[in-house]
Structures are given as C-alpha cells and as structure tokens.
Structure 1
Amino acid sequence: MINADHSIEWLVQKKNQEKLLFTPGPASLLSENLTGLRPCFGRGDIDYNQVEEQVLESLKAMTGHRYIARMQGSASLALEVSALNFLYGRVLIISTGYYSDRLKWLAESAHRRVCVINEVASVNWHEMDNVIGHFDWLVACSTETSSGLKLSITLLSSIAKRLGARLMLDATASIGLEDDHDLADVIGYSSCKGLFGLTGASFIAFNDFPIQEVDSFYLNLSTHLEKRMTGPYHALASLVDVLPNHDDFKFAVEENKTRFIRKMSNWLTVSAEYQPKICTHVNCNITSKDPRAVLYFSRGGMGGSIVCHLGEIHLKRQAKGDIQDVLEIAEIGS
C-alpha cells in the first residue's frame, strides 16, 4: 500500500527493489519518468506542445537528422512505416538474427503492397564486405539483441556508399547508446531501451521525404507527421526530464556492461568491436535463484544466454553493477 506521504523517489526505489531486470527494455523505473507525466492533449495544450517540441528537438540533436515523426506504438510500427514509405528498387538486408529477419519480412511485405521494390535480397553479416553490384537501399539492425551483436554504423554506411545505396537502420537497441546514427538516411526506434523512457512511443528520423505515396491512413508517414491521430503523449512526457540527464543514465549502462564483461570474459562469444552496450551474449546458461530477477529469453533461439544492462540506470553514476550478484552460471555450453 502506497502512503500519500511517500515521495516519488521512495516509490521508484521500492519498485526497483521489487524487480531486477536483465531484459533489453524498458529499463528500470526512473523518478524522471514520473515527474514528466502530466495531463495533456495534442491540440490546444500549450504546455504539452512545449514538452513534445523539447523531446523531439533533443532526439533530432542526438541523431543528427532533419526530420522526425512520432507515433503511438512499438518500434515495429516505425519500421513498417519506414519500409512502406521509403524503400524502393533493389533492397539488401544484412542478416544478423531475429530482428534483421523482421526487417526482411517488412521489406518483402512492402514489395507486395507498394510495388516500387524490385528485389529484396539478404546477406549474412559475415559476408557483407563481399557484396557487389548496385542496390538502392541497405537495411540493417545495427544492434541485434537476439544475438548480442553490434555492427559498426560507420562500416554499414561505407558499404551502402560503395553499393550506391541509402541506409535504413533498425536503431531500437542502439539509440542513445551507440554512435554515428547520423550516417543513416532513415532510422526507426522506440521510447524505451536506450532512451530510458516509458514504452508507447516510436520514432522515424530522416533527412529527405519519401518519394512514394502509401495508400493507407495509419501506415502513411504523412499521417504521423501531420499528427492526424492521438499521439504518444505520456510516453513523450516520460522523456522530457530524462533526456537532459541522459549521460548520467547511460553511465549506469556502461558500468554494468564493463563489470559483466570482466566477470564473464571466459564465456564471451563476440570480440570487443562487436559488443553492444545494451547486452552481452555468453556461451553458458545464466540463471538466478532470486525471485525478483527477470531474465532475458531471446527470440532468436540461440544457445547460451543474453544478459542486458538496463537494470540499474535509476542509480545513475552511483551504479556499480551490483545487480549482477544475483546471477549464477548454471551450465557451460559447448
């Protein structure tokens, strides 16, 4: 039972003590998530309009893009809208796991529905340097949480340029944590994970408007740019007090990652250059006897375990990775 005299800080501390997250987002609860909430409406509400403008301008500054569309829904919505509105011609998908497979499905769906895509091809990320020919779009998931893999956006950009292609990224697990998103022409992502907001909002950031028109109210990018439906008001409000202090929360992720890497150095499956900040894949089974622990079970179905590093961000620069003390190695993989 919550006493009316208890502070927001007390409530947040209590809730975070009750549940220990090792999942890829949303992260642990922040006081700033709650202090940003307010009654709001999308038209005629000056206070909310200021909140939305502040959040969207911060996000554009973070990624270096000229335009941004916000919508109510998961990153999957942003990526489907992106595929339908931007992709055309020959499209190449970089295969990294479950979420790149989702990008391929979305591109193939756009091919059937909009009919401006001529071909959807894919290549395993190990072979992406060997691709030749011309493509109009290169599409990739720069941080693949299903396999604990990060691809350099700089490298993806250079491959796209070599192929004469534009670059579209699923930035859901890299936004706010990794660098160089400005090198992509189009990115889609959500309000949680590395932005540390509440779930419910997704975004498309881009520099040039799409050339095709999508015959759909909900899936047409213009609908969201022109705000013709209820927007993600409270998800955006949950970010307004977070983004000015984003570096403090990001520190907690990096500290958690550093401690886990040091502790699990004998079981790491990818080298340092491919390690994402949000999570780590190891070739052993991680368990916990603590009933508060929520472990991550990847949709990719690969062996070993993936541990994510967003469970202590409420501690900001006081985080030391102590949340990992409840984890145990149950069985070493082959």
Structure 2
Amino acid sequence: MHTTDVPVGGVEPAVAVADEVPPRRLPRFWLLELLGAILLPPALAYVAVRWNEPAVQAWRTVCIAITMQALPFLLLGTALSGAINAFVPARVFGRLLPRRPALAVPVAGVAGVVLPGCECASVPVANSLIGRGVTPAAAFAFLLSAPAVNPVVLTATAVAFPGSPGMVLARLLASLATAAAMGWLWLWLGREEWLKPAVRHTGHVPGGSRWREFRRGFQHDFLHAGGFLVLGAMAAATFNVAVPRSVLDTFSGSPWLSVLFLAALAIVLAVCSEADAFLAASLTGFSPLARLTFMVVGPMVDLKLIALQAGTFGRAFAIRFSAATAVVAVVCSALTGGVLL
C-alpha cells in the first residue's frame, strides 16, 4: 500500500511505504569520529587526573553549562520534529507556504518567530519539514531565522542593551536578511547530492499508531543529535579555557578585525541565542557593529550547530552551508549595522 503526500515548493512527493519501512541509518561524520577516537581518551584521562585543578574545573563548568543550556531546546526541537512527522499532514504546509520556492523562502524565514528556542531545536525541525515535502531552501531559511528572530531572543537583546532599540532592530533585520539570502542561495547553487539526511520514514502510515511514530522519531532524533551536541560543547569549552584574555584585547582596537574576531568567537563559543546578547553586551571594548555580528553569526553558525547539521544532513552539506552562512551573516551584519548603529 502506498500513499503520496502533496509536494510543497517544487519538492518531489514524499512516499510512505506501509509494508516495509527502511532502517534508519545514521550519516557518518568521519572527521568528528576520528578526532573523538584520537583525542577523547587522553582528554578524559587528563581530566580524571587533574579533576580539581582550576583550568579543568573551568573547562568542566563551561562544557556542562553549554550542554545543559542547549538540552531543553534540543528536547523541544526533537519533540516538534516527531510531532510534525507523525501528526501534521503535508497539505498543511501547502496552505502555509507559497508554491514558488523563491517566495516560500522569505515566508519561512519570517515564520521563525514561532519557535522560541535555540539553534539546537531548529535542526531536527528543519529536517522534519523537508521530510514532509517542504522545499529545502525554505526549511533552511527557517532553520537560520528561528533561533535569531523569535520573541525570547529579541526580548533578551532589549534587556541586554537597554536604551538601544536600534540594536534589537538591527539584529532582527540582519538575521532575517541572512536567512532569506541563504535560502535563495541554496535555490541557486544547492545540489541534492550535498544533502544526505538520515533515512527515515516520512509521513503517517495508514493503520499505524501516530503516537508510536512520534515516540520512535523523537527517540531517534534526540539521542542522535544529543551526541553531536556534546562534541560541540566540548570543543567550545576547550576554546574558552585555552584562549587568554589578552587575545581579546589585541583584536578590539581594529574596527574590521574586531568584527571578524567576534564572528569567529561566536562560532567557537557556541552560546545559545537566548544568552548571547548578555555576553555581547559584556564585550564593552568592541564596537556595536562587532557585537551585532557576534549576535547574528552565533545562532546560525557555531561548533555544536555544525556538528548537528553534519549528523542530520551530512558533512558535505554542513561544511558548505556553514561556511557560506558565516560569510553572508557577516556581510548582512555590516550592512545593517552600518545604517542603524
């Protein structure tokens, strides 16, 4: 028995096979696996031996903080992903998004305001949207905008920068511009062979239990993405401990170097979007434009997000998409900040 979902935004219909569901294979991110196999055992041994030393305590605190900060939103995202896959008919997306992919991209970007979570939540949701027939370009625009333009993040930005409504508006516009630009860029240059999501059942199988489908999808996505989240948090914690404060002071004196440095810092610190505004506000030695770049780049490109994207869509996609997103985010931040700040 076969059922065919309605295609949205030029994507081929998703077919659900009731008789046989293929096994769900995890995509391999060989570089992280190799680094983990080489570096993780000696790192754990070092931490075990020097558990009470200040540097190790700081590393442990940062790693746990990043993981625990992101975990609730990853939980939210995987729950939404499972719910979309099990309960939401594909025709719903056909009604919400324009048929033309070029128009569906900005609509999906603006729709990011409905997800009050961080980037960890947006990856499994975007994956589920693609599985339900949404054009990848629109799903990626949602993936990038949701962590940056939702009401929780904008409110936190307003609190972190009191009396600076221009910073809140600049973050909103620069983030939306980046999300839309990346969606259109995917339509123009993206290739299907770069996008290799895990093999998974999409759509509800007639006669099957929707709650069972939800439970299986949620369990798989949460455990799978959670492992990559921990790897990203460990890398970010290492950078936090290893880089001395004097390095920050060296870069803050140059306008453009400070922008590029804070963009790179946002990538490696991997701070959730709900908290990054307060960290940006604390970097008083840097210009408002540099701090805006930090807040725009961080929710869209960071170590844990790259790892999550690689685990979900494949490393070929993650490498290209993350690099392009970082460049586009810096350019949109510079253009928007130059006008509003």
Q: TM-score, normalised by structure 1?
A: 0.25
Q: TM-score, normalised by structure 2?
A: 0.25
More helix by share: 2
